[in-house]
Every structure is written in C-alpha cells, then in structure tokens.
Structure 1
Amino acid sequence: MIACLRNTGLLLVSLLCSILIHGQQQELTGIGSDPNHTSGYLPTFFKKDHVKGSPYLADGWLRGNAELADGRKLPEPGKVGYFNFDKMNGRLYITDGISRIWNYPSDSVNSFTLGDSNAILSFVKDALISRTRFLQVLVRSETGYTVYRQWITKLNRSNFNDAGYYTTGQRFDEYVDLFNYYIVYPGHRKFTRLELKVRAIYKALPVEKSRLDSFFSEKSGSVDLNTFVLLMQYINEKRNG
C-alpha cells in the first residue's frame, strides 16, 4: 500500500513538471512570433534614434562642375549634371537627374565646385599639403595668403546603456565633422596648420602683428570661420594696397 502511494506521488510530480515545462515552451515559442518581441542581436533593450549628420556634403544634389585628372570637365558641354561629395571616402558623385549616377574616386578628380543659392564651396588638391586629400578653398591669392579647410568626417556609433538607475551614452549614430585649417604663405613654398584661436593666429602670422592688432583690437579668445576669412582677406588687401 505504501509503495503504491509512493509510486502515485512520483507520477503526479512527474506530470506536474511536464505541464510546467510544456507551458514554458509554449510561452517561449510564442515570443518568436510576437511583434512586440522581435528577434535580433542580443542583448538589446532600446531602439536607436534616427542617425544624425551625414557622410555627404549636402542632403540633396547640388549644381556644380568638376575637373577630372585626365583634363575632362563635368558636366560635359550641352549636358546637365548634379553633384554631391562623400566626405568620408573622398568620392565625388554626379547624376544626370534622370536615371544615371556616376562616382569618381579622389585620385580621378583634380578639383570641383558645388553650390546652391546660399553658398558655393570649392575644393582642390594642393601638393604642398596633400596630393590625395581635397581642401576647401576659403581664401585664394596669387601674391598673398591662401587659406584652406580640410573636412574630416567620422561616424560615432550609438553607445547607449541603461543600467536601470542611470543611463550613459547616446541612442543614435552620428556623423561628426571636424576641421583642419591651413595657411599657405606668400610664394607658396611654406604652410602651417592652426586652430581658430587668436593666439594661434598671432603665432602663425608674426610678421602681420600690426595688422592683427588693428583687426583684433576688440577681439580675444576663439575665432569663428567667418571672422577668420574676413581677417585673411583684410591682410591680403592691406598687402596689395
């Protein structure tokens, strides 16, 4: 009698475990098809926000022109072309605006100019600084100072982490633009790279101290891009005057 009860108890426990395991399997099986529990790379507990910034110079196509390394000009005579530039890979894109898109790597392009009604940007290669990287022309002078800006675009990946009681990082991927600035001295034999700060500009242009004093009479600290361009144009004008 005792053995019978013991066997019956074991059967009940075994049956109960089987029911629980079966129920859990059904629950886990259901998760795979539940739109609120989509599968993916685990672990992930948040949804990324939309990417910020862009690897391209503009959000859309721009009017422009380009000179290729073989001397050809784009767009070709009698044709229409729209351009964009991949800042990360140094690749120039052109479309006919209908159905075709061409792309040109850095070594196949000498220079290009892109723009719209708000701004025109010109890019060249200057062998004194780099034979491969495009530089945006900020100020150009045959007898005075020439000024360039180099675009460096990097992708910062989302690194958001939620520890429950605090969060760190950002929820979105972001393309970030960094810049190097260059001054090429008169005669086009020497150049320097500098930051847009008053002290750095004085250090780069010691022979122009009196003109810098006049321009910066009420300015100190950092300098924005527009002020820097106006300064270099002012110095070139005074040199030529």
Structure 2
Amino acid sequence: MKKIILTSWVALITTFTFAQKNTVVGTVNDKQGKPIPFAFIKDAQRSYATFTDLNGAFNLKVDSVDRLIVSAQNFKKTVIKIGDPNNVNVVLTGDDAAGAKLTKSTGDFKEKLSTEGMTKDVSSGYIVHENTIHGSRYLFENWVHGYALTTEDSVKQNDNYLFNYEKMAGNLIFTDDGKTMTGINRHSIKMFTLVDDQGQTYVFENRPEIDPLHFVQVISTGSKYKIYKQLGTKYLPNNYVSNGMTSSGNNYDEFKDESVYYVVKLPGGQPQKVLLKKKSIKTVFAADADKANKFLSDNDRDIDDDYLKSLGDYMNQ
C-alpha cells in the first residue's frame, strides 16, 4: 500500500491576500540562535499569514501591521510588537531541541475519518497497492504544511496538523498523527495554501462559478488578472484485454489528471476558459493585446503551468 510520509519541508508560503502594500521581513530563531523552519507568522488583527523558510526567514505582505503572532510545533506561541518592519527578529522559547527537528512519521489515507468542529466525513475511495496503479487521487505524495481562510475571513492553522488535497472529491484533508485523516467542510473554506517538499506553494480558492464541487488552483494573481487551474482527476480501472495474439488497454488502474484553465479580468470579470495555445491566450487577453503579444513573442516555449504563471505575472505588471 502506498505510504504517506509525514515530514517538514523547506519552504516559504505566500499569503492568501495578494493586494497588500507593505512588507514585514524578519527571522524566527530559538533561544540558542538556531533558525526555526516552518514557524507560522500571522498578522494579529488581519488574515495575512505565512511560514518561515528553512533558515527561519519570513517575508509577510500586509496593508499595515503592529503585532504579529508567531508559533511553531513544540514552542510557545508569542505575540511580537513591530518596531522596524524590515528587521523583525523573533525568539521562541520552549522545547528547542524537539522543535528544531524535522518531524517524521508514517501514515496513509486508508484509515476511517473522524468528525470534529467544522469537519465532515469523506470517503477514502480507491485505496490500492502502489504497484497496480499509476498516478494518485492526492495532490501530494506526502503530508504537507498549510493553512486555510474561512468564509468569515478567519485563519485556521494548527502547528500539529499537516494537509493534503484529495483531487477527485475536492476535499482538503488533514492529519495530526499521520495515521488518521479528517476532511474539512468545503463550504466553510474560502481559500487555502499548501506547500510541497520542494518548497512549491499551491493556493486554492472556492470558486463555484468555475467548479461548484472542487477548489480551483490559483496559477497567477495580481491587480489586473487571475489565472486558475481546474483540476480534473478521473479513476480509470484496468482495461487490459488479450487473446494470446494481440492485446489492448492498460494492465493497471490509473488516476488521470485532465486540467482546464481560466482567466479572470479584475475587478469582477467572469472566468474565460483558455487553452494552452497562443491563439486562445490572445483572445482572453484581448484588452491588453499588445502586451500579451509581446510576451508570446518573447517566450517561444511549451505552454504549461509555469508558462501561464510567468504570463500572468507579466500581464499584472
């Protein structure tokens, strides 16, 4: 059975809100001066948040802020008053040795789900042996760090929880022991951010006009445009057939991803489907045709997620 390894990662997670004007820069260390990776940094009054990277450094974009709440597993939560926003040095106290270690544990997504607070049961579905399946119903092979923003604009994060996203049913799931998982009620969540073991950040929004049953991934965002990725994952069972002479089909089960992309012109525009083709890109960015054409001319390479992110970042300048 495919195992999900519980670990900590080197990453800097971006905030949920993308239109902030100011930046708070700093570090989080233990009392011996050692950096604390994956310390959680939150604006004490608003819903802006981020995590530290492996070196304990953070960069938080905000409208304005005077206090930060800082926490990490095995350390005491601390409230910090901001002096110089370009040099915020936080020292956490507690079990320093345990807190600085990378947490490792084994677990999988097979166990029954519990329900607590704003959670609901979700089906574990197609649990199969690793050697009989291609692809995965889960976004990540490992449990990953993350946090969510509720429909009431409240940040939900716990230093003892790790997350994953179940693509077929559209469930955000979390674990506190690597053995059992709980699904979060999708209708209570506005957005969430997850980060993989390579430091790649994944931001998802609840956009029912694009997909009423699943969250959609934010590929790029800014003041003018947003680009979304609608994840579509299908379960295809083994369909191998042979008569001894000829054969057809696959001799394995497969989770196959089929994604659709959308562009939204801000503010208030409706989602427009965009194909991974230059002609389609020109159509959805017709309001800024000259700028779009320049990017397409200067970037003659395969159009994929990275390409669309670069395109979105360029169009938002």
Q: Does TM, scored on the shorter chain, surpass 0.5?
A: yes
| 1:207 aligns to 2:287 (yes or no) | yes
Shift of 1:158: 0.9
Partner of 1:74: 156
Counterparts of 1:221 and 1:99, CA distance in 2: 43
| 1:110 aligns to 2:215 (yes or no) | no
- Point out the structure with the larger helix share: 1
Selected match of 1:192 from 264, 272, 277: 272
The DSSP-based 3-state class of the residue aligned with 1:133 is coil
Point out the structure with max Rg over C-alpha. Answer: 1
Counterparts of 1:71 and 1:215, CA distance in 2: 35
> CA 1:174 to 1:130, structure 2 compared with 1: closer, same or farther past 3 Å?
closer
Q: Gapped runs of 5+ residues in structure 2?
A: 1-129
Partner of 2:132: 50
Selected match of 1:229 from 309, 313, 317: 309
Q: Report 1:58-207 matches (<5 A).
A: 58-69=140-151, 73-76=155-158, 79-97=159-177, 100-118=180-198, 119-141=200-222, 143-207=223-287
Deviates more, 1:197-206 or 1:215-224: 215-224
Counterparts of 1:132 and 1:111, CA distance in 2: 14
Counterparts of 1:70 and 1:211, CA distance in 2: 37
Q: Gapped runs of 5+ residues in structure 1?
A: 1-47
Shift of 1:201: 0.5
Q: What is the letter of the counterpart of residue 238 of structure 2? A: S
**Contact 2:189–2:206 (CA under 8 A) maintained in structure 1:** no
Counterparts of 2:314 and 2:207, CA distance in 1: 23
**Contact 2:262–2:271 (CA under 8 A) maintained in structure 1:** yes
> CA 1:188 to 1:130, structure 2 compared with 1: closer, same or farther past 3 Å?
farther
Counterparts of 2:135 and 2:186, CA distance in 1: 22
How much identity, in percent, do the aligned residues show?
26
Shift of 1:226: 1.1
> CA 1:169 to 1:117, structure 2 compared with 1: closer, same or farther past 3 Å?
closer
Cα shift readout 1:185-206 (whole Å, capped 9, x = no counterpart):
1222322011111011011122
Shift of 1:85: 1.1
The DSSP-based 3-state class of the residue aligned with 1:112 is strand
* Count, aligned residues: 187
Counterparts of 1:186 and 1:160, CA distance in 2: 48
Counterparts of 2:175 and 2:297, CA distance in 1: 48
* TM-score (normalised: structure 1): 0.70
Counterparts of 1:169 and 1:162, CA distance in 2: 9
